[in-house]
Amino acid sequence: MTNHWNDLQHTDCALIIGANPAENHPVSFRWLLKARENGGKILSVDPRFTRTSSQADIYAPLRSGSDISFIGGMINYAIENNLFHKEYVAKYTNASFIVKEGFDFKDGLFSGYDEATRAYDKASWSFETTEDGKPEKDETLQHPRSVFQLMKKHYSRYDVDTVTTVTGTPKEEYMKVAETFCSTGKPGRAGTILYAMGTTQHTVGTQNVRSYAMLQLLLGNIGMPGGGVNALRGESNVQGSTDFGLLFGDLPGYLGAPKELPEHATLAAYLEKETPKTGYWSNKPKFVVSLLKAWYGPNATKENEFCYQYIPKGNKNYSHIALFNAMYKGELQGAFLFGTNPVVGGPNAGKEKEALSNLDWLVAIDLWETETASFWQKEAGSDPSKINTEVFLLPAASSYEKEGTVSNSGRWMQYRWKAIEPKGEAKADMEIIHMLMRRLKGMYKNEGSPAAKAMNALYWNYGEHDHPEFDLVAREINGYYTQTGKQVENFGMLADDGSTCSGNWIYSGFYPEEGNLSKRRDNKDTGMGNFLNWSYAWPMNRRVLYNRASADPSGKPWNKDKAVIWWDAAAKKWTGNDVPDFKAIVAPSDPGGTNPFIMTKDGVGGMFAPTLNDGPFPEHYEPFESPVPNAFSSQEFNPTIKVWDGDFNLKGTKKQFPIVATTYRVSEHWQSGSMTRNQQWLSELAGHMYIEMSEELAKEKGIKNKDKVIVTSARGEVKAYAMVTKRFKPHTINGKIVHQIGMPWHFGYKGYATGDTANRLTPHIGDANTMIPEYKAFLCNVRRAD
């Protein structure tokens, strides 16, 4: 989240799209309902009328996979009707930048596309620069090659009629959403966009989010209280794990992982290549060297490139989809699965289950024996005599049985004390890793192989016994001065000469000398519901990111009743109800004083993003499997996604599978259900796998409520109860009826609540930037079971 949960209470309008927070993030509604009591509006855009929709002022349906069309139409609406925040757009975004000649967009393709590699040469997606290297601007936004004019032209194709024939949204409802949300473009008003996996789990997932960011920049909603682009994270600590390098392309703190490339051959070359000259990322070398010092300790010296060479480098795609493809082909020997259950949660789960049997060994670490840990059993539909995988099941401690921190969607890092001792032999994940590492280091101790060198160099100083000391890990994450051992104050103090270490620069500041700030529990409101002395929010305890943008260029809040920070001319510094996400002493009149987006190269928000793989502007493409042709161009699906070959990802045709399907979660179950389906009180609340469908589709197929039905896709089939509901309506897409169904994906055969696994249906294909699987839009068919 750019903002945080409590901050939702300040919104004038919440657009909830690709998320169902009433069911999956219920506490959000505590704050959203407060916003509504103050006159705020709630808009719910979803293929299905959900518990969230029940609380919304306006509900607008859309067909799964048509978000960019929906939002593109709103961008067009805001521009055409002059509803955007002009001063904000001109000053705080790159809308005024002039794009070089040669940039072009034709029939769904931006300039630079190479069909053979399905990739773009992004050279033509760049800005004109002045002699000193700064971007050329036209703050009147009139230059025909200004980002604003190019954006206007791009989205002029997204007129209401075209948009609604693609999304299937009734025009009247669409207009209500557009009017209501775009009213936040007025200076002093703020709108927020809440999204979750309904947005990201698409082959255009990244661009879906981009389209939200653009709309929010256009309406001047970023940096505002009650504004922002807010990802509702799907697990209690998914924010934390992402921050700590969960994603395959990242090292902790969103430092790009080095690859096996000539330009990454040395630390100097890597830093030269990956460090922008301007913006806060120009400090990257300090963060990278401090990370290496945390990992390799005294072994990391300037002379040996701080052990940079020991970081594994590879050029492959290490995403979930790619790993399972490799496993399926027998290219992987073994796997550790910590708290993950791909036999239920993975795309094309039936095939992923088969892939597991190609491993020599599998270590499953979980609270219960999951469908994945038991994939080889008869109950899983396997023949144990034919499976040679050796499976180890390690019992894991639950969150109440261990200490640690959890970072919520609002970036608050909250320490949790251990409530009870782990049951039986269960151990915390950190303990398991620690014990494993100590033994591995022991095994490699007297060896001289390259692998042993890397292993021996690793500085593993978390206690000389099997129980790792959490506090030592926490202190290292914050970082300390390597000479004195004193904690660094914050990431501003990190250096690139080896004098500091920090395991994750963005968290540096949470554990200064005075103590672990994630343990703070002062529930006094320090202003605007930011509770600055409760826990710690990265970065630097800032609660609303880009909050410089909540004030006008001269430093006065756009809305004096909802002020976040402002320039105090007498004290010569930024002050207010939040920690400034800005250099506190840089006056509005100073160079860079009106550049709120400190992490970007140019200090402004990116309407035009020349870095993503699939284009600088989001463009609508149909999902990999779609029932209709693309109304916007002849590119059917995202031209830059990797299309995996082989039988792992069979593609269904619309003739065979005419119905759009999507998957989702319910309040009562969590992820693959391994925790919640083993809990009786939750299992009784949501105990049955079901398929939600409209009354119209049910009638067409001769299905009655509660009938058992079979859903088929090109990948597999599932049997479940039919839930015939008024909350699903058929879409009218370009004059034709398109049916959509939906189903929860929590079920498997283990636990108290059992049912068929929805992911046996989902395709093994991912987003062009992140490789997140397209769980949310695929084709299927449905029939009665008997």
Partner 1 sequence: MAKAEYVKFVDVTKCDGCRACMVACKNWNDLPAEPEAFQGSVQSHANVTANTWNVLSFIEHENGKGNLEYLFRHSSCFHCSEAACVKVCPEDAMHYTEFGTVDVNADKCVGCGYCVQNCPFDVVQLATYKDKNGKEYKKAQKCTMCVDRLEEGMQPACVTTCHTDAMEFGTKEEMLKKAEKRLGEIKERFPNAMIYNPEGVGGTHTVYVLAEKPSVYGLPEKPKVPTSAVVWKDYAQPIGKMMLGATSMALVGAFVSNKLFNKEGKDHEEDGGGSHE
CB of 667 to partner 1, least distance (A): 5
Give the side-chain half-sphere CA count within 13 A for 78.
29
Question: Residue 17 or residue 75: which is nearer to partner 1 going by CB?
Answer: 17
CB of 29 to partner 1, least distance (A): 5
First to last CA, the chain: 47
Question: Residue 182 or residue 723: which is nearer to partner 1 going by CB?
Answer: 723
Question: Residue 16 or residue 532: which is nearer to partner 1 going by CB?
Answer: 16
Compute how many other C-beta atoms are within 10 angstroms of the C-beta atom of residue 278: 14
CB of 721 to partner 1, least distance (A): 5
CB of 23 to partner 1, least distance (A): 7
**How many angstroms separate the CA atoms of 597 and 256, rounded?**
20
Question: Residue 34 or residue 475: which is nearer to partner 1 going by CB?
Answer: 34
Q: Please give the sequence-ordered ranges of beta strands (E in DSSP) within 18-165, or none if there are none.
A: 41-45, 58-60, 105-106, 109-110, 113-114, 119-120
CB of 252 to partner 1, least distance (A): 33
CB of 690 to partner 1, least distance (A): 7
DSSP type of residue 770: T
CB of 370 to partner 1, least distance (A): 21
Strand partners, 250: 256
Q: Which two tokens stand for residue 759?
A: 């992911």
**How many angstroms separate the CA atoms of 738 and 743, rounded?**
17
Question: Residue 281 or residue 721: which is nearer to partner 1 going by CB?
Answer: 721
Question: Residue 267 or residue 693: which is nearer to partner 1 going by CB?
Answer: 693
Per-residue buried b or exposed e for 689-699, using 16+ beta carbons within 10 Å of the residue's own CB: bbbbbbbebbe
**How many angstroms separate the CA atoms of 197 and 665, rounded?**
10
Question: Residue 46 or residue 431: which is nearer to partner 1 going by CB?
Answer: 46
CB of 671 to partner 1, least distance (A): 17
CB of 685 to partner 1, least distance (A): 5
Strand partners, 537: 412
Secondary structure of residue 423 in the 3-state scheme: coil
CA distances from 181 to 11, 42, 207, 313, 739 (A): 11, 9, 20, 45, 28
Residue 630, classified by CB atoms within 10 Å of its CB into exposed (0-12), middle (13-18) or buried (19+), is middle
Question: Residue 391 or residue 666: which is nearer to partner 1 going by CB?
Answer: 666
Interface residues with partner 1 (CB under 8 A)?
Answer: 22-23, 26-27, 29-30, 33, 49-55, 666-668, 680-688, 690, 705-706, 721, 723-727, 752-753
Residues 183, 188, 191: CA angle, nearest 5 degrees: 50
CB of 397 to partner 1, least distance (A): 21
Question: Residue 49 or residue 459: which is nearer to partner 1 going by CB?
Answer: 49
Question: Residue 22 or residue 214: which is nearer to partner 1 going by CB?
Answer: 22
Residue 418, classified by CB atoms within 10 Å of its CB into exposed (0-12), middle (13-18) or buried (19+), is middle
CB of 70 to partner 1, least distance (A): 20
- Return all residues near 730 (Cβ < 8 A) that are at least 6 apart: 694, 696, 697, 737, 738, 739, 740
Question: Residue 501 or residue 675: which is nearer to partner 1 going by CB?
Answer: 675
Residues 175, 178, 179: CA angle, nearest 5 degrees: 85
Asked whether the beta carbons of 495 and 519 are under 8 A apart, the reply is: no
Question: Residue 727 or residue 731: which is nearer to partner 1 going by CB?
Answer: 727
Residues 475, 476, 479: CA angle, nearest 5 degrees: 90
CB of 697 to partner 1, least distance (A): 15
Question: Residue 315 or residue 523: which is nearer to partner 1 going by CB?
Answer: 523
CB of 409 to partner 1, least distance (A): 15
- Return all residues near 474 (Cβ < 8 A) that are at least 6 apart: 405, 510, 511, 516, 518
Q: Which two tokens stand for residue 157?
A: 């194709």
Is the preceding omega at residue 539 within 30 degrees of 0, hence cis?
yes
Question: Residue 46 or residue 619: which is nearer to partner 1 going by CB?
Answer: 46
Question: Residue 651 or residue 688: which is nearer to partner 1 going by CB?
Answer: 688
CB of 699 to partner 1, least distance (A): 16
CB of 56 to partner 1, least distance (A): 10
Question: Residue 82 or residue 681: which is nearer to partner 1 going by CB?
Answer: 681
**How many angstroms separate the CA atoms of 342 and 352, rounded?**
7
**Order of strands, sheet of 334-338, starting from the edge strand that comes earlier in the sequence:** 334-338, 361-366, 390-395
**How many angstroms separate the CA atoms of 426 and 404, rounded?**
16
Asked whether the beta carbons of 698 and 705 are under 8 A apart, the reply is: yes
Tell how strand 778-784 and strand 708-712 pair up: antiparallel
**How many angstroms separate the CA atoms of 780 and 269, rounded?**
49
Question: Residue 150 or residue 703: which is nearer to partner 1 going by CB?
Answer: 703
CB of 48 to partner 1, least distance (A): 10
**How many angstroms separate the CA atoms of 745 and 461, rounded?**
41
CA 744 to chain centre: 20
CB of 30 to partner 1, least distance (A): 5
Question: Residue 21 or residue 557: which is nearer to partner 1 going by CB?
Answer: 21
CA distances from 506 to 244, 253, 255, 461 (A): 9, 6, 10, 22
**How many angstroms separate the CA atoms of 189 and 206, rounded?**
27
| Identity of the residue numbered 676 | T
Residues 185, 190, 191: CA angle, nearest 5 degrees: 85
CB of 43 to partner 1, least distance (A): 15
